[in-house]
Amino acid sequence: MTTAQTTKIKRQRTLTGKVVSNKMDKTIVVLVERRVKHPVLGKIIMRSAKYKAHDENNQYNEGDTVEIAEGRPISRSKSWTATRLIEAARVI
């Protein structure tokens, strides 16, 4: 067997969402929306979930679109880490 076959490559689960809160220290709350087809009606509906993500430098603000990656549990409710900024919030 080659080394490529023996080592397992674990893909990290990533999600994209909007920051709805950054009031906690080193933690952001990210709202992730997804579109699903209703099983009976066949209509496309929006489903959403909020995830708490680790933000080491407190660099993300409300309204920013960010990518979060799943990792080991950091606290009771936080097992995601903010990896990159996709789009900054527009300040008016």
**Tens-digit pLDDT profile for residues 15-54:** 999 999 999 999 999 999 999 999 999 999 999 999 999 9
The domain ranges of the chain are 3-87
The pTM for the full model equals 0.84
Q: Quick check: 20 and 26 in contact, CB under 8 A?
A: no
- pLDDT value at 87 more than 80: yes
Burial state string for 36-70 with b = 16 or more CB within 10 A and e = fewer than 16:
eeeeeeeeeeeeeeebbbbbeeeebeeebebbbee
CATH number of 3-87, picked from 3.40.50.300, 3.30.70.270, 3.30.360.10, 2.40.50.140: 2.40.50.140
